[in-house]
Amino acid sequence: MSPEALAFIVFSAGMLLLMGIGMNMALALVLTGAGMALVLDFWDTQLLAQNLVAGVDSFPLLAVPFFILAGELMNSGGISRRIIDMAQAWVGHIRGGLGYVAIGAAVLMASMSGSALADTAALATILLPMMRQQGYPMHTSAGLLASGGIIAPIIPPSMPFVIYGVTTNTSISALFVSGIVPGLIMGVGLIVAWKWVLRRTELPEGQPLPMAHRLQATVKAFWALLMPIIIIGGMKSGVFTPTEAAVVAAFYALVVALFVHREMKLPEIRGVLVRAAKTTAIVMFLCAGAQVASYMITLADLPSVLTNWLGPLVHNPRTLMAVMMVVLVLIGTALDLTPTILIFAPVMLPIATKAGIDPVYFGLMFVLNGAIGLITPPVGTVLNVVAGVGRMSLQQVIRGVNPFLFVYVVILTMFVLFPQIVIAPVAWMR
């Protein structure tokens, strides 16, 4: 057996084994990378250390901690709650209105934080108790909130797009633009699915609030609504880069929380910074560990092996795209979004570009597929967040997410069949 084939076995079997025993994903990546180095007779502790440092030594990756911090400040400073209050004022009276509130709030909050976990936690903390009190079916309500939360990685600003762009050397600004239309389509798909789910559920209709109350709620959310305009408008006009946009978002959220809404006191900032630092450490350790594994994957020339397997499909881009999406769906059931990007994006993108697939379109599809994996059992990180906040069993949430998961798969299939839905808006914005 060749060293390259043995390295592939070490990587795949090692990852499955280490994940199966519950080892930290970043540490599992480092250990499998080290195992591949031994098999390839390329063992060098200094090289491993250099790759660990190189994995996080990137200026664009500075966007990650600041977007995480912006999400924490939004939740602590009342910005997220005002978005939900505004949505409830306008559509909360409709039958099943809290579901539509969740969808509208998810889309708006996605345009501010870029973090699926932060958005899902905020939505579930505020809306799940209200849904339980008003007699909503809890499993479908939890499934809806989890499904709404994964719009955050698609609509800009998006942390996964930043990581994907850094990993594959793809334009982060173009990736941001590519997510606007698909993110809105995801919101529409959730509306259709929620309406279908509620067709046999008896829920009362409320009285519409007076226009004065609706306008008052909208005015209170003004500073929150201004945030995505500043971020996206600043990047589009060239005032700041995506990395700088993350700093602007965090600073804006801090100023609004402290001096406009005045819902956060100076002593509370320490707790916000600690939570953001913990989340950042997890993401950055993943980036560092993935760099070790990625370097050894490149050294073993595993991308060429995969290219040879998929070679016959290179001349049929749509079929190749469909096969890759199926592979990524299976990967998404076992891996979280960030390690999926770090490990497989550098391997798959060269094959896609060789087939003539637009790299920005492929990036959007890759991240969308990985985001769907966040609500796909058995891992389903977002499902665990909703189950924890709502004090529900994971099985209940999995059962409730199925209709919305089906809609997302339909949308993913639609983008494979009609790539211009993604490509055309990017070309127009450019």
The structural domain count of the chain equals 1
Q: Give the pLDDT confidence score for residue 131 in this predicted structure.
A: 93
List, for residues 414-424, the tens digit of each pLDDT value: 999 999 999 99
List, for residues 53-70, the tens digit of each pLDDT value: 988 888 888 888 998 899
* Amino acid letter, residue 239: V
Q: Give the pLDDT confidence score for residue 14 in this predicted structure.
A: 87
202 conformational bin, left if phi > 0, alpha if psi -120 to 50, beta if neither? beta
Angstrom distance (rounded) from CA 323 to CA 320: 5
Instruction: Let me know: does 375 contact 153? Beta carbons within 8 Å.
Output: no
- Counting as low any pLDDT under 50, the low residues of the chain are none
Instruction: Let me know: does 359 contact 161? Beta carbons within 8 Å.
Output: no
Q: Give the pLDDT confidence score for residue 312 in this predicted structure.
A: 78
Residue 210 CB coordination number (10 Å):
10
Q: Give the pLDDT confidence score for residue 18 in this predicted structure.
A: 86
For the chain, the farthest-separated pair of C-alpha atoms sits apart, in whole angstroms, at: 75
State the Rg of the chain over Cα: 22
* Amino acid letter, residue 161: F
Q: Give the pLDDT confidence score for residue 293 in this predicted structure.
A: 85
Q: Give the pLDDT confidence score for residue 429 in this predicted structure.
A: 72
Q: Give the pLDDT confidence score for residue 82 in this predicted structure.
A: 94
The parent domain of residue 303 ranges over 3-429
Query: Sign (positive/negative) of CA torsion 239, 243, 247, 249?
Result: positive
List, for residues 283-326, the tens digit of each pLDDT value: 899 889 888 888 888 788 776 777 777 777 878 999 999 999 99
Question: Which CA distances in Å does 328 have to 214, 321, 344, 367, 409?
Answer: 43, 10, 9, 10, 12
Q: Give the pLDDT confidence score for residue 136 in this predicted structure.
A: 93
